[in-house]
Amino acid sequence: MKPQFHLPLSTYPDASSFAIIDNAISLALQNDAHLVASIPQVRIPEVHPPFPTVIDVDTWQGQAERYSRDSGTSLREHLTHAVSETGFEVRIHGFEVREPFVYERFSEIARCHDLSIVEASELSRQLSETLLFGSGRPLVLFPATSVCSRVDTIALAWDGSATAARALSCARIFIERATKVQVISITDDKEIDDANRALLISSLKHSGFEVQDVSLQAGGETATAAIQSAALERKADLLIAGGFGHSRLREFILGGVTRELLVKAVLPVLLAH
């Protein structure tokens, strides 16, 4: 059974970039996966202002829906062109949805696939969070500015938590094709169980991987920056991390690895909650 990758493409209020389409196609091709792109036609509910206003509500509503339609057309055309010379087929799932239920609908669709592919940016953050919490599936984030290469070396952000373990399990599609694994732990961010960590490394080596043991302190950097820097220095192609190991409220108030990765991923990242 082939893996099923899901590519949710926004059409309103901002359209997804062509770069995330190219990255999704590349990832699916590398892993012999099917790719389904979801493209919504967003409908704006009728608005009846309680007081007189200078805004022409009907005109604004029509412009918004046309923008969604035109964005969807552009995304479809780029998808078709991008795969035209590869022999790869992308299925397109078009649907209508009313604001403000677009992200929830994406989340429902994502439950029918193995993972979703999203761009890491502030514009996509709310979509990414909704998918992480609502789909029950992992998320692969791509940097917004580049098309990434194939995945040979994997970095695992390991703190011994249940979410990190779930992310590792969800990444099996990629781990089975990798040759090297880096186990990265930030020791001054939270207490790390050394015995548990050694057991994980032993297990990975027993599975036939070449494993790098990377234990370091963040120092003046955030834990997110330190993890990504360590992964890039060792030429990792994909970072695996648990999503929202703390409560969502605590992450929102204090910040955290997940929230920073959603908008500042500098290499592809698989997140699972």
Q: By mean pLDDT, which of 10-14, 43-47, 113-117, 197-201 is the weakest?
A: 43-47
Above pLDDT 70, what percent of the chain? 92
**Average pLDDT along the chain:** 91
Give the residue with greater pLDDT, 101 vs 243. 101
Q: By mean pLDDT, which of 22-31, 125-134, 174-183, 253-262 is the weakest?
A: 253-262
Instruction: Please determine, for residue 90, whether its predicted confidence score (pLDDT) is greater than 60.
Output: yes
All domains in the chain, ordered by first residue: 4-142 (3.40.50.620), 153-271 (3.40.50.620)
Indicate the pLDDT class of residue 55, thresholds 50, 70 and 90.
Answer: low
Closest CA to 74 of 110, 37, 121: 37
DSSP state of 235: T
> For residue 55, what are the contacts with CB-CB under 8 A and spacing of at least 6?
49
Instruction: Please determine, for residue 254, whether its predicted confidence score (pLDDT) is greater than 60.
Output: no
Q: What are the two backbone dihedrals, phi and then psi, of residue 172, each rounded to the nearest 5 degrees? A: -55, -35
Q: Could you tell me the two tokens for 251?
A: 């992450």
What are 117-169's pLDDT values in tens digits?
A: 999 999 999 999 999 999 999 999 999 877 777 899 999 999 999 999 999 99
- Other residues' Cβ atoms within 10 Å of the Cβ of residue 64: 16
**What is the DSSP code string of 150-208?**
---EEEEE--S-HHHHHHHHHTHHHHTT-SEEEEEEETTTS---HHHHHHHHHHHHHTT
pLDDT of residue 212: 96
Distance between CA atoms of residues 67 and 69, nearest Å: 5
Specify the 3-state DSSP secondary structure of 238: strand
CB 196 within 8 A of CB 160: yes
Mean of the pLDDT values across residues 20-47?
94
Q: What are the two backbone dihedrals, phi and then psi, of residue 62, each rounded to the nearest 5 degrees? A: -65, -40
Q: Whose structure tokens read 């704006």?
A: 44
Give the residue with greater pLDDT, 37 vs 243. 37
Instruction: Please determine, for residue 59, whether its predicted confidence score (pLDDT) is greater than 90.
Output: no
What are 219-235's pLDDT values in tens digits?
A: 889 999 999 999 999 99
Indicate the pLDDT class of residue 199, thresholds 50, 70 and 90.
Answer: very high
Closest CA to 269 of 135, 140, 126: 140
pLDDT of residue 115: 98
Q: Helices in the chain by DSSP H: which ranges?
A: 18-30, 57-83, 102-110, 125-134, 162-170, 172-175, 194-206, 223-233, 248-254, 257-264
Q: What are the two backbone dihedrals, phi and then psi, of residue 29, each rounded to the nearest 5 degrees? A: -65, -45
Give the residue with greater pLDDT, 189 vs 111. 111
Q: What angle do the packed helices 102-110 and 125-134 form, to 10 degrees?
A: 50
Residue 137, amino acid:
R
pLDDT of residue 116: 98
Mean of the pLDDT values across residues 226-247?
87
Indicate the pLDDT class of residue 250, thresholds 50, 70 and 90.
Answer: very low
CB 227 within 8 A of CB 239: yes
Q: What are the CB-based long-range contacts (under 8 Å, 24+) for 71-75?
A: 71/10, 71/11, 71/12, 71/15, 72/9, 72/11, 72/39, 72/40, 72/41, 74/15, 75/9, 75/11, 75/15, 75/16, 75/18, 75/21, 75/37, 75/39
What are 35-45's pLDDT values in tens digits?
A: 999 999 999 99
